[in-house]
Amino acid sequence: MNKLFAMLPCFNEELNISALIDSWITQRDSLSSKGYELQVCPIDDCSTDNTKAVIIQKQEQYPETVCPIFHKVNKSLGGGVNSSIAYFLEHGTNEDLMCLMDGDNSHDPKYVHSMLEKLKDGVECVIASRYQQGSKIFGVPFHRRLMSDMARIYYTIILGVPNVRDYTCGYRLYKYNAVKRLSEKFGEPIIQEKSFACMMEFLYKLYLSGTKFAETGFELRYDKKLGDSKMNVTSTARKSLSAALRLRKIRSKES
């Protein structure tokens, strides 16, 4: 049976990671019926709260499904993405899939099924998009939604990836061959950005590696996230805007 690796980078998510892992476990049987064995891989980035203890508890509860990764030093979100890629390439095979999502329980694993339906006609990466029909957003302040909308327009102009409207959402499904091709082209570590801009970097480098994309609508449930946000909105916006310009230079050098 092929595998689906659910990679969950997290930092100080003791209030959220248990519920997220449980949500993935509820999808285990339905994924099995579609030919995928589920492996849930929470990645603790040296949390200073009880996140690691919670993950260990879930591993003991579901020893055949939960396979955690514990960073020895803090690597930020970009490091979590690099760990996800490395683990997937080491333990996966050609027909396996990786689902990468935020570890704060704002993404519901149930949408993986509609994402699976999109993996056809050469598509190798499916994005759970805030800008597709049927999408809804709960609990995100107006100013952050406005910034996201403006950023989408900017990224579309600067990067222009076909069939992509949501460049920053971390909820995506990847085919093994696309990630392998990415690794062969860019080497390791693939991701250089440490902030939330790493998701845009991952997407754009996949595009430069020949990956084709599709999007599907979903509900972003930020209202289900417990605890304070770890995002510095102003700093993240500034880094993301400059990162897009740096990424475009990669394509210019290849032309």
| Token representation of residue 185 | 């082209």
Q: How many domains does the chain divide into?
A: 1
Buried b (16+ CB within 10 A) or exposed e, 219-230: bbbbebbeeeee
Segment 168-195 mean pLDDT: 94
Give the separation between CA 201 and CA 247, rounded to whole angstroms: 7
Give the separation between CA 96 and CA 223, rounded to whole angstroms: 32
Residue 154 in this model has a pLDDT that exceeds 90? no
Q: Mean pLDDT across the chain, nearest whole number?
A: 91
Q: Which position has the higher pLDDT, 249 or 83?
A: 83
What are residue 98's phi and psi, to 5 degrees?
Answer: -125, 130
Segment 156-175 mean pLDDT: 94
Q: Which position has the higher pLDDT, 141 or 103?
A: 103
- Is the CB of residue 53 less than 8 Å from the CB of residue 78? no
Residue 231 in this model has a pLDDT that exceeds 70? no
Residues 39-80 have pLDDT tens digits of 999 999 999 999 999 999 999 999 999 999 999 999 999 999
Q: Is the peptide bond before 189 cis (omega within 30 degrees of 0)?
A: yes
Alpha helices (H) along 62-111: 76-91
Confidence of residue 141 (pLDDT cuts 50, 70, 90): confident
pLDDT at position 245: 76
Residue 167 in this model has a pLDDT that exceeds 70? yes
Give the separation between CA 119 and CA 123, rounded to whole angstroms: 5
Tokens 């939604």: give the residue.
145
Residue 95 in this model has a pLDDT that exceeds 70? yes
Residues 182-229 have pLDDT tens digits of 999 999 899 998 888 899 999 999 999 999 999 999 999 988 888 766
- Domain CATH code at residue 236: 3.90.550.10
Q: 85: domain range?
A: 2-254
pLDDT at position 148: 80
